[in-house]
Amino acid sequence: MQFGIFTVGDVTTDPTDGRTPSEHERIKSMVAIAHKAEEVGLDVFATGEHHNPPFVPSSPTTMLGHIAARTERLILSTSTTLITTNDPVKIAEDFAMLQHLADGRVDLMMGRGNTGPVYPWFGQDIRQGIPLAIENYALLHELWRKDVVDWEGRFRTPLQSFTSTPRPLDGVPPFVWHGSIRSPEIAEQAAYYGDGFFANNIFWPKEHYMKLIGLYRQRYAHYGHGTPEQAIVGLGGQAFMRKNSQDAVREFRPYFDNAPVYGHGPSLEEFTEQTPLTVGSPQEVIDKTLTFRESFGDYQRQLFLMDHAGLPLKTVLEQLDILGEEVVPVLRREFAKDRPAGVPDAPTHESLLARSREDAEAADAG
Amino acid sequence: MEPLKIVAVSAGLSQPSSTRMLADRLAEAARRHVQETEQDTEGGRPVEVEVLELRGLASEIANNMVTGFPGTALSRALDAVAAADGLVAVTPVFSASYSGLFKSFFDVIEPAALKGKPVLIAATGGTARHSLALEHAMRPLFSYLRAIVVPTAVFAASEDWGGGEAGTDGLADRIGRAAGELGDLLLRRPYTAPVAEELVPFEEQLAAVRAG
């Protein structure tokens, strides 16, 4: 099982001292956070993609390419890549390039974005969100798998005899996750292609995500990719930890109360009871995360949101130390217990390459 | 026999509240109407009445606005409304319309929850001059939500709790008429289970995009 972090890349004022980092500071912080993730033994770093303030990560492959050059093992991913407003041709090219530079340590997560105005900035219309996600991904999927593509669709100029370069590393496209907060259409799309499905699992009670993941698992089997238990599921989560529970609550409360997403609403206590957010000791985070398996079944990837709501870099790095040293080793051990033999690990470049070689040999033999 | 469920939503704020009182009387009158009508035919259909006071849900409604999901008590209330066979909706008139709390509750409800549901609308106010708020604010709200709103809307001004205005039907008559309309609709409306979300298979989604 893979553990990692995902970041939104927001520039938020620290509510405790009123300090706002510059964009430059925030971008450099994201890189420092990625380094820390590798240092403390996490597997994945994923960045969001946004095209409006107060967010900085508009150019994920630039950032991930930089991180790739300075890390050894970390898998670089996105949370999410906008399949609606990006040209699928450019996604195919950018991520294939990144894959070569990172020697295969790359996957990505498709998302639609949630801000209406972004669509027209890129010549699109939010009312076409789902059709855009469907058509653009169908093209991206083809561009990575066929050397020469002839294509015509609704949302982009036609392609004739087009080759997306560079070709994917070793002829193996990066693994794709599809992220969705509320759309069964996207769970269905992930299932159809046999891709991974990621539920951000942050904002709402688990019952909501259980429905989506249940649907994805069932349709994954329907399309013949394996049993429902073999579907590739990723989950988000968020935590703030200190040795003593009360210290964690005291320190995190002002960040929670003023957080751009859920601040000025329910109390920290209500929100932690109703959603996967855990504020407390490392043991409490371990206990809460282990319940995810009971709700969603054995899964492949757990990402935590750690750097948001104006938390200073120093605090985030301390959080990552605790996560990497005290939480994840226990989670690895506990999640491995009683994991059914048929449940796969998250696909990596190596495993996908091995599978494509097996398939080629089988085809030759047949 | 499965009982018919009438849910009354009251946005009254004071304690005791005339809005709550009106909700109780309307729901009870509708219940009695259904039972009396049914007695003639099948020997009495059980009717359950539940009254929801939005005051107790005020902070959860505000939180739902911020977080996008309902807390425990609000979630139960929203489910009760969605599962009701008929709804009685009563608000005090604030600034020429339904109260903000009343509107907020119907802002966080699933848009399809009231589709085809018989609804009796009612309001309270200090003076009968506010009574048209029922027609220019309440009725369009529930029409938008695709509910079936009964023709008689009941407004209770302060004086209605006494003798009422000379030359008009008294409050009790109006309650009886509106409750009768709601009750008749309840009896005519066959119970339908909530429809599960439909899944469109991926090939169909793809084909729809290609067809443009």
The answer, for B212 touching chain A at a CB cutoff of 8 Å, is yes
> Which residue in chain B has the smallest CA separation from A260?
B66
Q: What is the pLDDT of residue B196?
A: 58
- Is residue A191 classed exposed, middle or buried when 0-12, 13-18 and 19+ CB atoms within 10 A define those classes? buried
Measure the CA–CA gap between A47 and A9, rounded to whole angstroms: 7
Measure the CA–CA gap between A55 and A34, rounded to whole angstroms: 17
CA distances from A257 to A14, A261, A314, A320 (A): 12, 10, 20, 22
Q: What is the pLDDT of residue B168?
A: 72
Instruction: Report whether A348 contacts A175 (CB < 8 A).
Output: yes
Q: What angle in degrees, to the nearest 10, is found between the helix axes of A184-193 and A129-145?
A: 10
pLDDT > 70 fraction of chain A, expressed in percent and rounded = 100
Residue A44 amino acid letter: V
Query: For residue A166, is the peptide bond before it cis, meaning its omega torsion is within 30 degrees of 0?
Result: yes
Contact A192 B210 (CB under 8 A): no
Contacts of residue B210 in chain A, CB cutoff 8 Å?
135, 153-154
Interface test with A, best of B76, B79, B108, B205 (most A CBs within 10 A): B205
Contacts of residue B208 in chain A, CB cutoff 8 Å?
131
Query: For residue A228, is the peptide bond before it cis, meaning its omega torsion is within 30 degrees of 0?
Result: no
Interface test with A, best of B61, B69, B72, B79 (most A CBs within 10 A): B69
pLDDT tens for chain B, residues 1 to 212:
788 999 999 999 998 999 999 999 999 999 999 988 877 655 567 899 999 999 999 999 999 999 889 999 999 999 999 999 999 999 999 999 999 999 999 999 998 999 999 999 999 999 999 999 999 999 999 999 999 999 999 999 998 988 776 677 799 999 999 999 999 999 886 555 555 567 889 999 888 888 87
CA distance A33 to chain B (A): 27
Give me the domains of chain A, ranges plus CATH numbers: 2-365 (3.20.20.30)
Nearest to A134 among B63, B201, B209 (CB): B209
CATH tag, B4-211:
3.40.50.360
So where are chain B's domains? 4-211
Show the CA angle centred on residue A4, arms to residues A57 and A77, nearest 5°.
Answer: 45
Measure the CA–CA gap between A84 and A91, rounded to whole angstroms: 11
Contact B66 A153 (CB under 8 A): no
Q: What is the pLDDT of residue B131?
A: 95
Contact B72 A203 (CB under 8 A): no
Measure the CA–CA gap between A121 and A116, rounded to whole angstroms: 10
Nearest to B68 among A154, A203, A264 (CB): A203
CA distance B79 to chain A (A): 15
Query: Could you count the other beta carbons within 10 Å of the beta carbon of residue B82?
Result: 17
Q: What end-to-end distance do the CA atoms of chain A give, in Å?
A: 34
Contact A266 B197 (CB under 8 A): no
Q: What is the pLDDT of residue B195?
A: 56
pLDDT at residue A125 is higher than 60: yes
Could you report the per-residue pLDDT of A194-234, keeping only the tens digit for each? 999 999 887 778 888 999 999 999 999 999 999 999 999 99
Interface test with A, best of B202, B203, B206, B210 (most A CBs within 10 A): B202
H runs (alpha helix) in A102-160: 118-121, 129-145
Contact B206 A265 (CB under 8 A): no
